[in-house]
Amino acid sequence: MKKLLLAALIVVGVGYAIWNQPHESVAVVADVQKPEVGFVAPHFTLTGLDNQTYKVEGKRNKPVMVNFWASWCGPCRMEAPDLQKIYEKYGGQVDLYGVNVTSNDSPEAAMAFVQSYKLTFPIPMDVAGTVSNRYLVQAFPTTYLIDTNGVIRKKIIGMIDASTLELELRKLLSEKPAS
């Protein structure tokens, strides 16, 4: 009887140990680059209006907000001042890339837009449209919030009001990334 009880306890103990092993979260399992929440953000390198190089490619020191826009887009015009305020407030804690989808715009119109709204955050230029295609951008603006592991935490299609964007950004900044 003692041997049977001991065997049962061992089986239960082993089962419990296997069941309670740490399970990887979707973010850790998702090594696949896909423009959806829980997946690694598609990697890209673009040159900005300032001729600097901007990258999204996996792990980084700060989270990044990637906002796809075009100068002719009405909601983008409405959102631009809020993005500038967010950048001024959180620029030390998060990178903000305002990716101009130049394949649907022009460099001149993008520059005029940036000057008109006095935007000081980086403006990478997606001249060929390859990055917006990889991110499956179908509407302007479209914004992605990406954590320090390069995982997309939020996808926002269309304009978002300043208070909601700030709330989402605070959530992103308060998350403890999986290692």
Give pLDDT, residue 15: 38
Q: Is 132's pLDDT higher than 90?
A: yes
73 annotated active-site: yes
Please work out, in degrees rounded to the nearest 5, the angle formed at the alpha carbon of residue 171 by the alpha carbons of 25 and 142: 90
Q: Is 10's pLDDT higher than 80?
A: no
Q: Which domains does the chain have, with CATH numbers?
A: 25-174 (3.40.30.10)
Determine the average pLDDT of the residues in 108-128.
98
Do 145 and 63 form a contact (C-beta atoms < 8 A)?
yes
Give pLDDT, residue 175: 81
146 annotated active-site: no
Do 128 and 40 form a contact (C-beta atoms < 8 A)?
no
Tell me the CA distances in angstroms from 110 to 14, 16, 71, 106, 144, one per residue in order.
62, 59, 6, 6, 20
Give pLDDT, residue 32: 81
Share of the chain above pLDDT 90, in %: 77
* Mean pLDDT of all residues belonging to the chain: 86
Q: Is 141's pLDDT higher than 80?
A: yes
Residue of 56, 73, 86, 110 marked catalytic: 73
Do 68 and 99 form a contact (C-beta atoms < 8 A)?
yes
Residue of 27, 64, 70, 76 marked catalytic: 76
| pLDDT tens, position by position, 61-105 | 999 999 999 999 999 999 999 999 999 999 999 999 999 999 999
Do 160 and 85 form a contact (C-beta atoms < 8 A)?
no
Q: How does strand 95-100 pair with strand 64-69?
A: parallel
Give pLDDT, residue 114: 98
Give pLDDT, residue 100: 98
HEC states along the chain? CHHHHHHHHHHHHHHHHHHCCCCCCHHHHCCCECCCCCCECCCEEEEECCCCEEEECCCCCCCEEEEEECCCCHHHHHHHHHHHHHHHHHCCCCEEEEEECHHHCCHHHHHHHHHHCCCCCCCEECCCCHHHHHCCCCCCCEEEEECCCCEEEEEEECCCCHHHHHHHHHHHHHCCCCC
